[in-house]
Amino acid sequence: MSTRPAPQWRVVRFDFWIDKAFDERLGREPAIALDVAQAQDGDERAWRLLSQAHVYQISPAKDELPAQFRATAGLLERCPQLLCVSSTGAGFDTVDVEACTRAGVAVVNQAGANAASVAEMAVGLMLAVSRRIVECDRLLRSERGYSREALMGRDLGGKTLGLVGIGHAGSRTAALARAFGMQVLAFDPYVAPEDVRARGAEPVPLPELLAQSDIVSLHCPRNAETLGMFDAARFAAMKPGALFVSTARGGIHDEQALAEALRGGHLSGAGLDVWEPEPPPLDHPLLDLPNVVATFHTAGVTHEARRNVASQAADQVAALLSGARPPRLVNPEVWPQVEERLRQN
């Protein structure tokens, strides 16, 4: 009778929801053992598992993951065997990438795995706000005596969409917008003008995008450059009557400044999937405005997207532990060091 060899590698994740594809994929790897820590059961067992881990599959939701389990320099010191921190998403807000690089730890994300879902939500928010779908739904359930014209909205066709960021989700959004007959502009300082055009948009500087766009949609990462990027001055620079949409990350736009721009009438509506913090408090001023459509960071949360993310994450982890360079490596400069550490195990 053959016996299963002892696993060489240990992967740890917390018990936050993840599609079963992740566990099933790693379960087919005899050299990999997967441990699941309980987020609510205290720290002792979690730290014991993490201290033995070679890969930490981490939640990117900063308001979900307890602060002590974010991938900071302090955590890395307590986890000397760690080779990789793998984010369960495109973002990695819970990971200190510089600290990981200093420690010789690879950081991977799942960029692109939920891009189609995020793009659909971005366009869905545009439709919901511009056609006043949510306002109509609320009124129809509670009042009578108003006319259809009192809820008159605007078509997307013929409007100008400005994308701030044209990566995976931004490119998908551009394609959907063109199907509606929209003109698409994009600002992305990390994408060459010819590549922006190849992704379906006309490259323009940010001031020009703000001045010309009927709808501005954010698709950029949250980092030191983008944090607080959309403040009162940026909202004031937008075209009067424009709509603001974000499926990016909370903190990129100033929520109080946006509420003031909407209350003052400079902007005519907003569709918001991301908040600071998440979820926002029930008395948040934006939630009190009828021309705001609000969702709970669910743009990338579909059955299809979550399965794609889980499958991609497991494939990257398995590939890395077999010695292959993962395709979505956030800190590529660390790879030679990780390769050497893999050989030493």
For residue 143, how many other CB atoms are within 10 A of its CB? Answer: 8
Q: Give yes or no: 297 in active site.
A: yes
Sign, Cα dihedral of 203, 154, 291, 117: negative
Structural contact between residues 199 and 171, judged by C-beta atoms closer than 8 angstroms: yes
Q: CB-based burial of residue 281 (10 Å sphere; 0-12 exposed, 13-18 middle, 19+ buried)? A: exposed
Contacts of 179 (CB under 8 A, 6+ apart): none
Of 13, 297, 306, 341, the catalytic one is: 297
**Which tokens go with 20?**
């079963």
Q: What Cα–Cα distance (Å) separates residue 39 from each residue in 46, 52, 58, 63, 307? A: 8, 17, 12, 13, 22
Q: What Cα–Cα distance (Å) separates residue 165 from each residue in 17, 184, 258, 267, 342? A: 28, 12, 19, 21, 35
Question: Which neighbouring-strand residues pair with 269?
Answer: 243
In the chain, which ranges are continuous DSSP H helix? 21-27, 44-51, 73-78, 97-102, 115-130, 133-142, 168-179, 193-198, 206-212, 232-237, 255-263, 303-321, 335-344
Q: Give yes or no: 120 in active site.
A: no
Q: Give yes or no: 148 in active site.
A: no
Report, in angstroms and rounded to the nearest whole number, the Rg of the chain calculated over CA atoms: 22
Of 278, 284, 328, 339, the catalytic one is: 278
Structural contact between residues 184 and 216, judged by C-beta atoms closer than 8 angstroms: no
Of 234, 249, 253, 306, the catalytic one is: 249
Structural contact between residues 61 and 296, judged by C-beta atoms closer than 8 angstroms: no
| Catalytic residue IDs | 249, 278, 297
